[in-house]
Every structure is written in structure tokens, then in C-alpha cells.
Amino acid sequence: MSQVSAVLRRGPGRYFHWCPGCESMHPLPDSWSFNGDVHKPTFTPSFLQTGSGVGKNRTCHYILTDGVLNFCGDSTHALAGQSVPMPPVPPEHATEWGLQDAVGGERP
């Protein structure tokens, strides 16, 4: 697995990116439409992730167009209703889901 740009990492059957609203990596499956631009990606359909955390339910819902995360109003984090450029994947999160660094070596 590898970093394909500052904002995308490649894993088995999907891409991954950093979500600044959830402060975690999110997967984007290969089965979705992708414009092929690893620097300013567009993926469809919209991304919807729900789950529960300590004391609350979480929802992250957005449309990714030309490298901009357009967070829907039903997201439960502070970026709900906002549009923000995709941030770079933080180096300390490169190993989530077994991801590797840009030179291909596993990080400890």
C-alpha cells in the first residue's frame, strides 16, 4: 500500500483520506466513481459513516468534489455544513489499516 498524493493513500480495493471532522482516516471504495485525479479527487456517491462513541452517536456525511470535502448538515462534528479542502494525511496516521509511508516501507 502506498501514498499516491498528499491527500490520498492506496489500500486493497480502496483509497483512504484524512477526515478533519472526525480526525480519522476514511475509506473510499474502488466500486465508487472516481475522476482519477489523486490531487483533487471527486468520488461519488456521497460518503456516509455512522457509529457510536463514548456517550454519543456519530455521523460523518460528505460529498467529495475536486478535492473539497462538502460536509452535509447531518454530520455530527464541528464541520457540519462547511466545505473544506482535503488536508494532507498526517504522517502519524500513515499506518492505520496497514498503510505504508511514501517510500513503501512499513512504519513501526
> What is the grid cell recorded at 30?
474502488
> What is the C-alpha to C-alpha distance for residues 97 and 27, in angstroms, rounded to an integer?
10
pLDDT number for residue 102: 34
pLDDT number for residue 3: 82
> What is the C-alpha to C-alpha distance for residues 84 and 64, in angstroms, rounded to an integer?
10
Does residue 99 carry a pLDDT above 60? no
What separation in angstroms does the CA of 89 have from each of 27, 29, 44, 63? 13, 17, 20, 18
Contacts of 22 (CB under 8 A, 6+ apart): 49, 58, 60, 77
pLDDT digits (tens, 9 = 90+) for 28-82: 999 999 999 999 999 999 999 988 666 567 899 999 999 999 999 999 999 999 9
Can you give the residue ranges of every domain in the chain? 2-88
